[in-house]
Structure 1
Amino acid sequence: MKYKLILALALVIMIVIAFSPALSYITLSEGNATQQNDSPGEGTDHKTGGGDEEKEISMQKANPELGLAAGAENEHLVLYFDNTTGGIAVRDKASGKMFYSNPPTAKEDQKTSDETKQQLMSQVELVYNIKGKEGDFSLNSYSQALLLEQVSWGKIENGIRVSMTIGRAEQRLLLPKQIGKTSFEENILGKIKSERQKKQMQAFYILNPKEEMPGAVEDVYTLKTSANDRDKRVLEEIVKSTGYTYEMLEQDYEAIGYEPEKAVFPSFSMDIDYILQGNSLTVQLDAGNIVYDEDTFNLVSLSLLKYFGAGETREKGWIFLPDGSGTLIGFNNDGTKKTLLTTGKVYGDDSAVTRFERGSIKQDFRFPVFGIHRGDSTLLAIIDDGDAVADINGMMGGINHSWNTAYANFTIRNKDKFIEENAFEQAPWIIYEKKPYKGNITLKYYFLVGDDADYPGMAKAYRNYLIEKGALKKITAGDNIPFYLETLGSIDMIVRKLGLPISTQVPITTFEQAEGMINRLSQRGVDNIKLRYKAWYNGGYYYTAPSKMKVEKVIGGAGGLSELSKKAQAMGAEVYPDVDFVHVPSSSMFDGFSPRKDSIRNLFQKTAFYAELDPVEQAYMNIMWCITPNRIPEYFNRFSKAYDKLNIRSFSLSTLGKSLYSDFKSNNQINRQEAKDYFVKVLKAASEKYENIISDYGNAYIYPYADHLLNLPEEDSSFLISDKQVPFIQIALHGYIPYAGQALNLANEVRPAMLKAIEYGNGAYFVLNHGEDSILKAAGVYNQQGSMNFSYWEEEAADIYARMNEALRDVQDQAITDHKEVADQVFVTTYENGKSIIVNYSSQKASFKGVTVQPLDFAVIKD
């Protein structure tokens, strides 16, 4: 027993000795600048969460001489910390491919300046503003963190944490404002080796007699007030070269009784976590834990891993942006693409921020995904958190540097500008958001190689991500594809009664007429009809806020709507009354909506509006109030109580998938990420309450709750630098959420629109009214709606449905596994059951795998 005790004691002593270096580490709070003790390779301890107890992390400073250092590994990937940049690298174990956060040969780029090279070597670029001053300024993590030895890293569970301070960690200039004559001449001037630098130093100081300096025991040198910021930085470097220290500075100040004023150097401290999760890398930065002087500075925005996976112009590759259905932009190999940056806000414009004409931009970025393809590998990025405050950008190489890249930029504080009307050469008035975004910024990166490295593989990876999050579930397909029929109820217009102009509700399609439309389509073989009814409540086309529900009597009233739903069900159809919980085009005295209180405001505290850009007139139309996000759940609860009395189990929430906005009301500010949470709250409640939900356009946060999506983007914005539009989002969603693109009767040409619907796996979608188009013309909305007369389209709509149903009914629940262009204007879509559909848009016959396809037609191949 005695010997066992001795052995145990010796073991304890050996363990203590082995780990004794850790006892000398300096523990700093999260976000502060790190320090090192005197032992080589030793650093600080940081705490990491991940449970009830926090664990200490041994941190060490980045050492550019060490290169890559292994940080974490799992069965798929190896993660490295890159000492030369402060970034990371990831190796795919199966292929051996390396993916770098920064181009390894950035310093060798002959096309760029030293300043741009520093940006290429950075992981974080941020923009800040000095409160009360004009203009924004930028900092990057390479020149303002790594080169200042303000980057450290340590291992955490399944990954690494990188801590950095961007800007001056030391909030004092190592440059005396006042200093005694003896110390200045002995400790500074006397140790400057260059006579030129010595004269430069002397030129910026004035020697004041001690009699003029209260409490001084000797003459005092004072820094001239004419020294600007650049002068001070140059002088500080000279002082540093002498070996002068901050401790000596403090002693010199104390000797003459000088109290320096507070420094205002920009300094932003943050932690970035890189965590391996299966075949992906999660990168997370908590914006709420970025430490800086918030009394002096506004942190405006930051970009994260701007050059991760960037491709050189000499390489073969492209970048992917979520523009519309998706677009590919080839690397700028020949230098012909002159547009440096292509950008889009995730989920479209923010109505609370002033908008200006957008030029060629037509489509919004509806899903938070981007990627870079190089050779036979692709880096796919998904914004997992912070998506609603993000922009996605594509940057062309060959203009400022040689690298083509795609990345996300996150708005921490919105800003807006205002120019007084008729002002002459007046600078705009700029205002910043008072409440910064303090949520998480999280990106997930997937490393695709071989056959999965093309855009169908990217879409498949996004689909799997959505499935893992519970956002997608396989559908149970009916016998036939959906036929989406949308119709309008009533509209307010001026009519003459007894010779006097009177505003009154005029029916466009009554409930009884809608029943007749369903019946006539059914007799023509159209099945699985989903009728979306718009303009049926609270004033019809120009409806008031959904604080209550009043079904318009002119189209049949509440009883008529309930009866329509019952009769539709008997015919195998469903009715989806559409309610707008987002926009309000009209207001009345007792509608429960106050534009001043219940709508959103911009940063200037003026009421903000939703509007759509007319691409022809380059002017905004359909101007409406936007309901402040925190009122939307209340409106939904109140409206749904009345709606439930109709006994209709389906609901259309078109605008909740289309628009997302902030509210900058000074007493109740709501950022876009918070607004998204309010929207999701309503969507979740609706999906739990009703059997089926239809929405529009498909902002990604709606995927877990929508049973059908209409107006899903089918094309990109046709940017001049874009090379190919692709059905990325259709590949991701097919078999999980039934969808349709633009209404076929509103297309410029019906035949190509039908073929695209077949190529993309759409349902058939028509916007048709029983009433004549002349009613819409008289009401002044015909140009917005197009030709929609049911009697005109009835036969053709049934024929188009029959053709589409023939092609697609047996793949409704099948995922798209491949999509490619096999010849000029000839595309093939392949499904998981082996079926392929060839679509030929050209004016010539085409063949694929022995199957001939006529011009402007399609054909089916079954394995």
Structure 2
Amino acid sequence: MLGSTDKTQYLLGIPYEGKQTLTSFSEAKELLSDLNAAGISNVKLIYSGMVNGGMNQRALTSGVSIASGLGSSSDFKSLSDYASSIGAEVYPNLLLQSAYTKKGLSGDRVAWNIVNNRGQLYTFDPVTLKVDDEADYKLYMINPNYLSSYLESIKNSFNKKFGITTIASSDLLTFIPTNYKGTQVSMSTGEEISMAAGKSLSDGMKLMLSNPVSDAYAYSSSLTDIPTQDSGMRILDASIPFMQLVLDGYKTYSGESLNLESTDIRKQFVQAIETRSALKFTFTYRDSSLLNKTEQENLFAVDYSYWKDSVPEFYTEYENFYESVKGATIESHELYERDDNLRIVTYSNGVKVYINYGDEAAEIEGVSVDALDYQIKK
């Protein structure tokens, strides 16, 4: 769920930096109500752009505050209480290892790279494959020497502000921090520092991490954005979901949002079946055209009204699959006759899932499977 973002507004023809609300707390509550009425339960609502500047989140050095336009603390409590009443959970999504703009990040709070510049996380232009130097908001890395106290301060502020123990982070432990100015921190030391900070944050909290480094799995209650596809490089003979094979039965995990990927959504759904990844979608309650001329304008397929009718269909189909393998674990994963398009996943309860990624129907061990589809046999 996307909450708020920065957008240039105009007053008497004069531009100024304003805030654009994408989904308020009351609208998020209404969306949860819709999903519940459609029979979709156990929802984990990851609320991005909810604090301190929204999607382009600023440093949290002064504590956690609600982004403007979303509602009050009591509105959030109403959302959280409603979610609890229907078996759902709200996970405010925070940047914890980085922040947009240098405000609040003095010299000893920001990481410095080896050429004595402030450490940044860069985005790349998908057309030119070069660093995007025209981004209005630069993403700076938190100094690892400051990280432990920074996260402890955020944890205390978060608990006081929201009174919940569920928190998500899209950047925490996704990279190993270093610092080359003042007290220098190498990669190995940076890993030790960041893991210790993550462990401390997870104490008493349900922490959801976004495709973190593998050492961080121990500190997360659930994982999201775990890749279900390979890099696509021609040198690869086959795509095998090793990560999910390891995680299955030990952690709750999802892939990336089905409505944000460039590949066919049906293929992504079948990949979720193959890897037993929970389904994930990203939505705005308001029209996604509001993202035009913002840093998030590439998220054009997030309008909830467009997906409202199809999401229950995806979840109903997925639930039918999940019920057949509930309580079981993946015992084997194989390519049928060394064909990367044909797969067999076997579960500990004897259920087999036959998968066909090809363009034509195929027969796998005598089971007929339509193109880009699957069959479950007990």
Query: What interval of TM-score do these two structures reach, taking the shorter chain for normalisation?
Result: over 0.9
2:6 counterpart SS class = strand
Among candidates 173, 187, 210, match of residue 696 of structure 1: 210
* Alignment correspondent of 1:782: 297
Deviations 1:158-184 (A, max 9, x none): xxxxxxxxxxxxxxxxxxxxxxxxxxx
Q: 2:267 & 2:46 partners in 1: Cα distance?
A: 24
- The structure-2 alpha-carbon separation of the partners of 1:613 and 1:500, relative to structure 1 and needing over 3 Å to count, comes to closer
1:493 to partner: Cα distance: 1.2
1:678 to partner: Cα distance: 2.0
- Whether the aligned pair in 1 keeps the contact of 2:173 and 2:198 (CA below 8 Å) is no
Counting only pairs closer than 5 Å after superposition, residues 251-650 of structure 1 correspond to structure 2 as 487-547=1-61, 548-588=63-103, 591=104, 593-594=105-106, 596-621=107-132, 623-645=138-160, 646-650=162-166
Identity over aligned pairs, percent: 26
1:810 to partner: Cα distance: 4.5
- The structure-2 alpha-carbon separation of the partners of 1:724 and 1:848, relative to structure 1 and needing over 3 Å to count, comes to closer
* Alignment correspondent of 1:834: 350
Among candidates 659, 671, 687, match of residue 175 of structure 2: 659
- The structure-2 alpha-carbon separation of the partners of 1:689 and 1:809, relative to structure 1 and needing over 3 Å to count, comes to same
* Alignment correspondent of 2:269: 754
Which structure has the larger Rg over C-alpha atoms? 1
1:780 to partner: Cα distance: 4.3
Paired letter, 2:308: E
1:519 to partner: Cα distance: 0.8
* Alignment correspondent of 1:457: none
Q: 2:183 & 2:324 partners in 1: Cα distance?
A: 51
1:523 to partner: Cα distance: 1.1
* Alignment correspondent of 2:371: 855
* Alignment correspondent of 2:252: 738
Q: 1:576 & 1:701 partners in 2: Cα distance?
A: 22
- The structure-2 alpha-carbon separation of the partners of 1:676 and 1:809, relative to structure 1 and needing over 3 Å to count, comes to farther
* Alignment correspondent of 1:686: 201
* Alignment correspondent of 1:55: none
- What TM-score do the two structures reach when normalised by structure 1? 0.42
Paired letter, 2:372: L
1:532 counterpart SS class = strand
Q: 1:758 & 1:720 partners in 2: Cα distance?
A: 25
Deviations 1:213-243 (A, max 9, x none): xxxxxxxxxxxxxxxxxxxxxxxxxxxxxxx
**Alignment of 1:803 onto 2:317:** yes
2:335 counterpart SS class = strand
1:860 to partner: Cα distance: 0.6
1:519 counterpart SS class = helix
Q: 1:814 & 1:688 partners in 2: Cα distance?
A: 29
Deviations 1:620-646 (A, max 9, x none): 246411001121211111111121122
1:827 counterpart SS class = strand
2:317 counterpart SS class = helix
1:583 to partner: Cα distance: 1.2
Q: 2:327 & 2:41 partners in 1: Cα distance?
A: 17
- The structure-2 alpha-carbon separation of the partners of 1:672 and 1:786, relative to structure 1 and needing over 3 Å to count, comes to farther
- Whether the aligned pair in 2 keeps the contact of 1:546 and 1:579 (CA below 8 Å) is no
Q: 1:657 & 1:606 partners in 2: Cα distance?
A: 22
2:233 counterpart SS class = coil
Q: 1:670 & 1:720 partners in 2: Cα distance?
A: 37
1:554 to partner: Cα distance: 1.0
Paired letter, 1:844: E
1:490 to partner: Cα distance: 0.7
* Alignment correspondent of 1:710: 224
Q: 1:843 & 1:717 partners in 2: Cα distance?
A: 21
Q: Please state which structure has a larger fraction of its residues in strand.
A: 1
1:813 to partner: Cα distance: 4.5
Deviations 1:249-307 (A, max 9, x none): xxxxxxxxxxxxxxxxxxxxxxxxxxxxxxxxxxxxxxxxxxxxxxxxxxxxxxxxxxx
1:814 to partner: Cα distance: 3.1
- The structure-2 alpha-carbon separation of the partners of 1:597 and 1:746, relative to structure 1 and needing over 3 Å to count, comes to same
- The structure-2 alpha-carbon separation of the partners of 1:812 and 1:632, relative to structure 1 and needing over 3 Å to count, comes to farther
- Whether the aligned pair in 2 keeps the contact of 1:735 and 1:812 (CA below 8 Å) is no
1:694 to partner: Cα distance: 0.8
- What TM-score do the two structures reach when normalised by structure 2? 0.93
Q: 1:603 & 1:538 partners in 2: Cα distance?
A: 30
Q: 2:141 & 2:149 partners in 1: Cα distance?
A: 15
1:844 to partner: Cα distance: 2.3
- Whether the aligned pair in 1 keeps the contact of 2:285 and 2:304 (CA below 8 Å) is yes
- Whether the aligned pair in 2 keeps the contact of 1:734 and 1:812 (CA below 8 Å) is no
1:521 to partner: Cα distance: 1.2
2:176 counterpart SS class = coil
Paired letter, 2:363: S
- The structure-2 alpha-carbon separation of the partners of 1:810 and 1:637, relative to structure 1 and needing over 3 Å to count, comes to farther
- Whether the aligned pair in 2 keeps the contact of 1:713 and 1:741 (CA below 8 Å) is yes
- The structure-2 alpha-carbon separation of the partners of 1:527 and 1:726, relative to structure 1 and needing over 3 Å to count, comes to same
- Whether the aligned pair in 1 keeps the contact of 2:224 and 2:256 (CA below 8 Å) is yes
Deviations 1:573-615 (A, max 9, x none): 1000011111111243xx4x21x32111122222221113334
Among candidates 359, 364, 367, match of residue 843 of structure 1: 359
**Alignment of 1:815 onto 2:329:** yes
1:514 to partner: Cα distance: 0.6
Instruction: Give structure 1 stretches of 5+ with no counterpart.
Output: 1-486
- Whether the aligned pair in 1 keeps the contact of 2:52 and 2:66 (CA below 8 Å) is yes
Q: 1:687 & 1:814 partners in 2: Cα distance?
A: 28
1:715 to partner: Cα distance: 2.2
1:577 counterpart SS class = strand
Deviations 1:761-801 (A, max 9, x none): 11000011112111111324212x24100010111122111
1:535 counterpart SS class = coil
1:746 to partner: Cα distance: 1.2
Q: 1:780 & 1:578 partners in 2: Cα distance?
A: 17
Deviations 1:379-401 (A, max 9, x none): xxxxxxxxxxxxxxxxxxxxxxx
Q: 1:719 & 1:647 partners in 2: Cα distance?
A: 46
1:709 to partner: Cα distance: 1.2
Q: 1:814 & 1:663 partners in 2: Cα distance?
A: 45
Paired letter, 2:109: D
Q: Could you list the runs of 4 or more consecutive aligned residues of structure 1 that deviate by over 4 angstroms after TM superposition?
A: none
